[in-house]
Structure 1
Amino acid sequence: MAQFGAPRNPVNWVSHLTAAVVSQPAVKDPAVVERANLLNMAKLSIKGLIESALSYGRTLDSDYPPLQQFFVVMEHCLKHGLKVRKSFLSFNRTIWGPLELVEKLCPEAEEIAASVRDLPGLRTPLGRARAWLRLSMMQKKLADYLRCLLMRRDLLSEFYENYAVMMEEEGTVIVGLLVGLNVIDANLCVKGEDLDSQVGVIDFSIYLKSEEADHEREGRNVHISAILDQKNYVEELNRQLNGTVSSLHARIDTMEKSNAKLIEELAIAKNNIIKLQEENHQLRNENAVIFMKAHQHLEAAKASIEAEQMYRQHSRHGLSEIFTDICTDHEDSELTQETDSDLEPVRMQHEIELAVKLLEKDIHEKQDTLIGLKEQLEEVKAINFEMYQKMQCSEEEARERDEDDELDERCTQMPSARKPHEQSHVLNQSRSIEIASYMKGASVDSAPQYKMIKDISF
């Protein structure tokens, strides 16, 4: 029990408490002193409750004094630093507000909060808070619920001042001490108890006892510690067994669910098989009926085919006789027609050959004329080119002669220059006349050629 930080002797607890109280005046802030006193009282009440419960050896009820003092101390710790809230008629200052937040933070606490609200004898928020503490004590979840509440300081700031126990480190220490209460089994009757009108006063006489009682308690503590270790071991085994049982239950649930699904699937499969068997039976019956009908149709068709074959044979025999008679009557006419038809293609072929030969001759003649015309065109082009060259040469010679005449005129006198000029003029006229006559003759000769080319083109 040394983990709670308090000496084992109750007298030493009182001295420790008084020393703490005496040493507090050195601290200037009274809120710090209040927090330290509440922490020390929480340590004393929790340790005394655990020791007395183990020595008591039975399940604790609501009349057990150390348990009552523990709830009073917890009430004082939760009331420290509460903010005053204005209501319609008066000021409200209760611890039910922050405790009501636990059900929102921890879903496991919803059942306790609902049961507290449903209690018929509670009329005040303080009574509901006291009932909540007792129910969580019986459930062995008081430390867990308060730990969830301390982790949300932002929500607690709406109900507590900054110097409150629940807002400082002392609150976490108290919650850590509350874990040791899980070894205690409490059976509290909340319905018949008047929790609204109880007065929460701390009784220090419980913690102030004689030294003889302390020695006896030390002797008992040795035996109690062994029993406590055994109880812890048994509880640990019980927790492990509960865990295995829960896992086995989960497996059983999963197996049952899977088994139920398989059973449903098997039933569905059986129903499907029965339906398929019925459909198969129906199809077989229908197939047999169809086979019988088809066999009957085949027999009827065979009979009708045989009758048709007999009728066709008789009709063919009669038609063959008629055909032979017709053939003998028309043989002569067919022979004459065949001879005429044989001669007509020969005549037509002979006429076609003659027409083709005539066309070939005509084509050869036209090709020869085209070749001759092309040669004439080439000759005309050559003649025109020669004439063009001769004209250019004559023009150049005339220009040269004109230039020479001009020079001679400049050099010689005017009378002497008239005669050669006249002679050159006469020569030029004669040359132009010759060229014009030659061109006329060439044009006359080439005219029928151009006419022939025009006729051929048409």
Structure 2
Amino acid sequence: ERTNLLTICKLVIKKILSSSLNPSIPFDNDHPLLKQFLIIMEHIFYNRLREVKVFLREKKSAWSAIEQLAGESTDLNEVVISIKEMNDIRSPLGRLRGWLRLALMQKKLSEYFVLLLQHKDDLLRDIYDEDSLMMCEDALQLSGLLVGLNCLDCTFVVKQCNLDDEVGSVFHLSNRDANDADKQIVASLLSQKQYMEEVNRNQRSTIDNLNQKLEVLSSSNILLNEEMNDAKCNIIKLQEENTRLKHQVVLDLENHSNQMKNVENDMEIERKTYLQSQMGLDQLYLDAQKNFNEEVHLRLEIEKELSHQISLKQEMEVGMKLLETDVHKKQDLIVSLRKQLEDIKSINVKLSDDNKELESMHTHKVDMLTKLEFKCSQMCSAIKDLENEMEAQKSNKVHSVETMKQYEQQIYEHENLKLSLETSLKNEKDHNAMLVRTLEEERKKMVEVQMQLQFMNKIKQENESLKIKLKELEVRCMEQEDALTELGSHLIHTKLKVENMKEEQLVTKDAQWADDKEITNCTQCQKQFSVSRRKHHCRNCGEIFCNDCSNTKMPLPSYAKPVRVCDACCTKLLKKSCTS
């Protein structure tokens, strides 16, 4: 019987998978192969069930085992609850059929079947015989066959179907694709016929068992009638005891009337003593009235203090609102500071390039001065021209001194650095071009200088003045190098701040929201969304989470109020706030 069920199940699953290649045929309630498969699964679950006689309780079945297993999986628990809520399905067989259809729609029938096999020692051993299919190793082979059905998109209508009918028969299987498979189908049909005969035998045996149960119920009914007669005798005895109790109540009432007379006499005596004690009570009342007036005065003072505390609370609320406005202003200042840092970076890069150019010009100037010292003896004829050029150089040097002073002032002012440095660099480039031109003219006039040796003394004096100016230039270059070193140290700090600001920008950027239609599971816990488990966007990263994974709210720079954030972004933001 087990082998027949497995072979039929294999054939039906193969036919279903081959028919899935044709997308025009939907997998719904009217699909013939799916009907065959569901009937075979019913036979598998009801194979070798134990005939346990249970009085006034529901008989154990495969559905009872599935109910006990619902706590192991959240998806399985949802399926069981939804089936219980269907009022049209009442029998365990109908609920098992509904569970098979919903599991196929979820594509998790193989997973639920494996869970049943893992807990078979606890759940299935009391329900099935030892030689049943669910208790043998063939069940593992069946779980492997069910994995192939996870690729099907099934759509069943469970509420409108009558699932409480008896188990149907296995339909006829036909194969029109290949002639070689006819023999296998004939063999399977013969085995199916044998299987149906065995099923009929099992049904006859179940009918005999039901007749035996009817006999047991009739005998139990006779016992219940005897118990009813005993209960009637007990009721008669209880009525006799009730009459006795009524007679005792009458006697008790007479005794109670006598006691009430004695109590009235005692009350007259107590009245006399009350009148005597009333005078003392008046004095106590006056004292109590004084204490009451004092308490009223204290209560007024307490109310004044409460009004004062309420005004303080209102002032605190106004202060909190002002603090929120200050926070928004500080966020705007942070954005402006980021822009200023980017400008400072560009200025520092330009300063480093200009420093390199100044060093190359300085080396070039030293080389030229060495050449001038050798050629001083041949520069007699060009003295007058050099004097005019020296006056122009003096005016240019005065201008350069002024620009250098402006540089020193503008180092501390970050906003005007760029314009001042560009102007100073242009002036120095013009000065260097003038020097290059003068040197070229001096080379041309070297031939004439040899003939004019009369003006040697004047040229030597000018040479000395040039050396003095060179020393001044060297001092200025050293000052510029010190300033550049200070700028380099300042640049290192600004680079570190800029990197930190970039990391904060990555966090504070508006995240791109994920599409609701594309995502069906939570990105953190991977649970599937449903009517009870709704989708929520994280306002920081933009991904979609369930309510349990995004239950916290935190303030973000792009939002005025605290907004929903996932657990991962919450931990990141808390770490960054702690480090800052």
Q: Normalising to structure 1: TM-score of the pair?
A: 0.40
User: Counting helix residues as a fraction of each chain, which structure ranks higher?
Assistant: 1
Q: Which has the higher contact order (CA 8 A, sep 6+)?
A: 1
TM-score by length of 2: 0.32
